[in-house]
Amino acid sequence: MPEVLSAALLTLKDIHQNLKMEPCWDSRFEEYLVLKPLPEHQEQELLKIRADFLPYLESGTVSEGTIKLLLLAPLLKLTGFYQEPFHIDVEESIGQILEADEEMTIRGRMDILITKKQMKPIFWILIIEAKKLSLSVQVGLAQLLAYLYKGLQNQSQVWGLVTNGFEYQFILAEKRQPIIYHLMPLLNLLETEKLKQILQVLNGIREQ
């Protein structure tokens, strides 16, 4: 019987050794996305989203649920992911990842999965993993990579995002031999230019 692991308990060592994924540390958004200037209405709404969240950020204790409701939901709506042809699933199970050597099974549940369901097979656009504010985004990195690995079964690349509300780590996974995952520059909520870039990146992923 294969060993059964929770995706939430994986380490980067597990990802590198068992899923054969390798990191690329120096990638840039502009190599893979077109980052257009934000329309005025998006920029103003983005600043309102930040203003609504700042009191929670200052409190120092923000749950995953609060981050999803106050940040991720309005960001995805503002970007247009609520509209056709996109579809959002919350707490979507990945079923399982069974390795070729049949020594390990990974099970997990994605916080947010955005797909184009009218495509066959269903095309995964973006996977988002949220962590509470007190945790570093690095805590969720291995878990997100397991989900990205699953997403590559039927496509050549898939985007991921892990956030604790303050920091935003975007990752692009590409199906190569071995699989490569690109860690993009770390963005954050407080620096206005980096805040704008969060939305520019989401716009760019939507328009791919």
Q: φ and ψ at 99, to 5 degrees?
A: -70, 155
The pLDDT-based confidence of 104 (bands split at 50, 70, 90) is: low
The pLDDT-based confidence of 117 (bands split at 50, 70, 90) is: confident
What is this structure's pTM? 0.93
DSSP 70: I
Distance (Å, whole) CA 67 – CA 77: 14
Checking if the pLDDT of 100 tops 80, the result is no
Over residues 128-169, the pLDDT tens digits come to 999 999 999 999 999 999 999 999 988 999 999 999 999 999
Distance (Å, whole) CA 22 – CA 24: 7
Checking if the pLDDT of 6 tops 90, the result is no
Q: Please tell me the predicted confidence (pLDDT) of residue 101.
A: 52
Checking if the pLDDT of 71 tops 80, the result is yes
Checking if the pLDDT of 95 tops 70, the result is no
Burial zone of 79 (CB within 10 Å; 0-12 exposed, 13-18 middle, 19+ buried): buried
Q: Please tell me the predicted confidence (pLDDT) of residue 118.
A: 72
The answer to whether the CB of 21 falls within 8 A of the CB of 10 is no
Which residues fall within 8 angstroms of residue 44, CB to CB, at 6 or more apart? none
